[in-house]
Homo-oligomer: A and B are copies of this chain.
Amino acid sequence: MNGNTFGRLFRLTTFGESHGPGLGGVVDGCPAGLKLSDDDLQRALDERRPGRDGRGGAASTARREADRVRLLSGLFDGQSTGAPIAFYVENTDQRPGDYEALADIPRPGHADLGLLLKHGLSDHRGGGRASARETLCRVAGGAIAEKFLHARGIRIAACILEFAGIAAVPEDPFGARSRPWFCPDADSCLRWEEAARAAAREGDSLGGKVLVEIHGLPPGLGEPVFDKLDARLAYAFMGVGAVKGVEIGSGCAAAKMKGSEHNDPLVPAGPAGDARCLLPGGAPYAFASNHAGGILGGLSSGAPVLVTASVKPIASTAKTQRTLNLQGEMTELRIGGRHDISALPRIVPVLRAMAALCAADFLLLQRAARL
């Protein structure tokens, strides 16, 4: 209902601003019996942290917060009890002074003006609630969802597919987690790092594409008609700041294909097939191709779910911009403070988290499908 809650049965509600006391969230609906600790969330947050161990270093800012997360509720003897699981991260590295100048000039490409016109007032310090820092709550909540998915044999891969127009080959999406720039191949990240440094020199910013794969979803997940699995994934991904396009499987390229090319025929599954993909009579099945991206008619098909997000370049750069101030006068705006060159690679764990939240929610909903 309200914008700060995601999910129906497995729900995440988030709160907090970039420059307030802290940020946090509440996961409600996590089934009882899940082993969980601060470390599970911390590991996920560490992946999102800018510039951690040299990964995507040229893309991200110098803001280095400890971002220590703490679970506040919902656990007993290290297991979820079915009660809401709250977590909290204190803000420690605030520099609101950096944003004073912005009170009078809405930043182009940001929510500043929209929030002001919506609510009649706004928190201009670092974008307030619209700050990218808000996404750490998604990552923490997503880590809980992913733990639940693992217990069900579902795994999620997330990688950068393209940066600054330079495409990688998604030959090892699962390995991306341990490679610089969440890179799905051996060396594209070298060229990405180079492009990022060049943009940094120009004071400009860059965009790219992220691929998320969900493996092991049982077939039939999703709720027709409006709440299709692909619809919820599109909602989840487009709701992350800077995402301007979401594609499932063949995505926008499907518009140019013929039906005879696009269909993915069913074939008998080999011995390496997914044990979940059984026809009603018990015969294992697979697909000859995966243009559908693992979703047919809004339901998981048994093939891996493939979602691609296109991410715009970061709006705030070191360059001086000409725009209106709140009095309607043309002004030169030079945004101080810290600048990321790109929302990638930091957005990778965020999109993984959103995919996990989606999948966990549908898994629980699925339990109501049969008598």
Contact = CB atoms under 8 A, between A and B. Distances in A.
A232 B34 CA distance: 28
A324 B279 CA distance: 9
B311 A255 contact: yes
Pairs of residues from A and B, 5 with the lowest C-beta to C-beta distance, nearest first: A111-B297, A283-B328, A3-B223, A118-B220, A114-B299
A113 B265 CA distance: 12
B33 A4 contact: no
27 contacts: A3-B222, A5-B226, A13-B13, A15-B74, A15-B84, A16-B86, A17-B76, A26-B26, A31-B371, A32-B121, A33-B370, A76-B125, A81-B119, A110-B296, A111-B299, A112-B297, A113-B266, A114-B301, A129-B225, A231-B235, A244-B251, A245-B255, A254-B310, A255-B312, A265-B323, A279-B324, A364-B368
Interface string A106-145: 1011111111111111110101111000100000000000
A259 B205 contact: yes
B33 A108 contact: no
A312 B291 CA distance: 10
Interface residues of A, number: 164
Given A81-B119, A114-B222, A114-B296, A327 B239 contact: no
A262 interface: yes
How many copies, total?
4
B231 A292 contact: no
Given A120-B370, A220-B118, A267 B297 contact: no
Contacts of A109: 259, 262-264, 292, 296
Contact of A118 (B28, B82, B127): B82
Interface stretch (A48-56, A176-184, A313-321): A313-321
